[in-house]
Copies of this chain bind each other. A is one copy, B any other.
Amino acid sequence: MNLWKDYSRERLLRLREDCRAEYLEMKARGLALDMSRGKPSPDILDLSNGLLGALASYRAEDGTDTRNYGIPTGLSESRRLFSELLGIPADQIIVGNNASLELMYDFYAALYLFGTQGHAPWSKCAGVKFLCPSPGYDRHFAISAAFGTEMIPVPMTENGPDMDAVEALVQSDDSIKGIWCVPLYSNPQGVVYSDETVRRLAEMKTRAEDFRIFWDNAYGLHHVFEEHKIADILKLAAAAGNADRVYYFFSTSKVTFPGGGIGLAAASPANIAEQQKRISIRTIGSDKLNQLRFVQYFKTADAVRRHMRAIGDLLRPRFEIVLDTLDRELGGTGLATWIRPKGGYFVGIDTQEGCAKAVVALAKEAGTTLTSAGATFPHGKDPKDTNIRIAPTYPAESELRDAMRLFCLCVKCVSIDKFLANRTA
């Protein structure tokens, strides 16, 4: 190993000079790149352009005129197609409008407003808490924050949330009401929850009887390298007598178009029945034409899977650029660590302590916007200021090469400054 922190002061000063010169050179090129959010690139979106075409018919398979009111739980053929894709019984799926984030928000709000399966609503409970495996997805944490839920960070491992920590917490405190999970290709680290993690989540005893797992399978079909699978949490929970514990979410936002996708929720029959009643107060029916559009265009689960492989082919080179650049520029330096993502949309990187904010600021100065440092932790506060999320899906490959070179330079500059400051101090 050749750790930069062990370098002599002189060597660090020389490196600083080189890095700064290179940084200024890149800055002078006036880059204008945005890697802050997990947006699909135009070439990925183009793969779904067939969806912009005309609807062949407005009739559902059973003859229903989908132009009209009704069917608040979604078209049968659409529920069936997702059933096949996700391996969940069709009658345990509710297909809604654009965006599963909306469904997560609504399910969360319903727990707060009305409670579930006869349990008291959170609004009547003191100090409700929620587990937030971190680093995690900022928009999940934003929902918890909006409802004033106390967020408890739980460390992430290469197998998912640290289950010893999770079990100790849920078994000791009945105000811990749930946990946010992105089980396949987690945001931001691309971690795949191990079978044991999923089993323990499904089976663990919880002090709160109404404990809920918000299972956001956002990247359920988003393989990049190999095709990984996660264990079936709905089945495992049911087998363990915890059928109602899991709220499962998925959307086509990153299958077809974020600006015109379809969100869905899946859960136990009792939970679906409960939601069905609630949804029927809020709507007479979601956008069935859009559901039909998806089914008419893809027709079969296999066609969707082929389509996802084509998306994977466009994502893979981008991930390779990120990982190759990290390996080449930072490998063995000890300046940063990262888990190699197994798929999904992001790469999570940990800098030296206290460096992440400065790295993001320095990159911004040179025209490259990264996700705000800290965003991957509850309240946007990364206690060690180390985590940075890289979202490589939007830029073109050439831009991404520049952006990653710049990013690594920023890590070097900030780290060197820190090492030098520590020695002076």
A residues near B, CB below 8 A? 37, 39-40, 42, 45, 48-49, 52-55, 58, 65-70, 97-99, 101-102, 105-106, 109, 112-114, 123, 139, 142-143, 146-147, 253, 257-261, 278, 281-290
Q: Contacts of A66 on B, CB cut-off 8 Å?
A: 259-260
Contact B55 A55 (CB under 8 A): no
Q: Are A142 and B98 in contact (CB under 8 A)?
A: no
- Contacting residues, chain B, for A42 (C-beta < 8 A): 65
Chain B contacts for A289, CB-based, 8 A: 52, 257, 259-260
Please give the distance in Å from A107's CB to the nearest CB on chain B. Answer: 12
Given the complex of chains A and B, what is the CA–CA distance between A58 and B40 in angstroms?
15
* Chain B residue nearest in CB terms to A254: B69
Q: Can you report 20 residue pairs joining A to B where beta carbons are below 8 Å apart?
A: A39-B68, A39-B69, A52-B289, A68-B257, A68-B258, A69-B253, A70-B259, A97-B286, A101-B284, A105-B281, A105-B282, A105-B283, A113-B147, A258-B284, A258-B285, A259-B285, A260-B287, A260-B288, A260-B289, A287-B290
Q: Copies of this chain, how many?
A: 2
- Other-chain contact of A259, B54, B67, B281 (Cβ < 8 Å): B67
Give bound CA distance, A142 to B279, whole Å: 12
User: Can you list the 6 inter-chain pairs with the closest CB atoms, starting with the nearest?
Assistant: A260-B289, A67-B257, A69-B258, A259-B288, A105-B282, A98-B287
With A54-B54, A259-B289 given, name 17 new contacts (CB 8 A).
A39-B68, A40-B68, A49-B58, A52-B58, A52-B289, A67-B258, A68-B259, A97-B287, A98-B283, A113-B147, A114-B146, A142-B281, A146-B278, A146-B281, A259-B288, A260-B290, A290-B290
Partner of A97, one of B97, B147, B281: B97
User: How close is A108's CB to chain B, nearest CB, in angstroms?
Assistant: 10
8 Å CB contact of A68 from B45, B69, B102, B286: B45
Give every chain B residue within 8 A of A52 (Cβ-Cβ): 54-55, 58, 289
- Chain B nearest Cβ from A58, distance in angstroms: 6
A146 nearest CB across to chain B (Å): 5
Shortest Cβ gap from A33 to chain B (Å):
16
Nearest CB on B from A56, distance (A): 9
Q: How far is the CA of A281 from the CA of B146 in the complex (A)?
A: 8
A67 touching B45, Cβ below 8 Å: yes
Question: Beyond A68-B39, A105-B281, is A286–B55 a contact (Cβ under 8 Å)?
Answer: no
> Which residues does chain B contribute within 8 Å of A260, judged by CB atoms?
66-67, 287-290
List, in ascending order, chain B residues with CB within 8 A of A258's CB: 67-69, 284-285
Residues of B with C-beta under 8 A to A147: 113
Q: What residues of B have a CB within 8 angstroms of the CB of A40 in the complex?
A: 68
Cα distance A281–B141 when bound, in Å?
Answer: 10
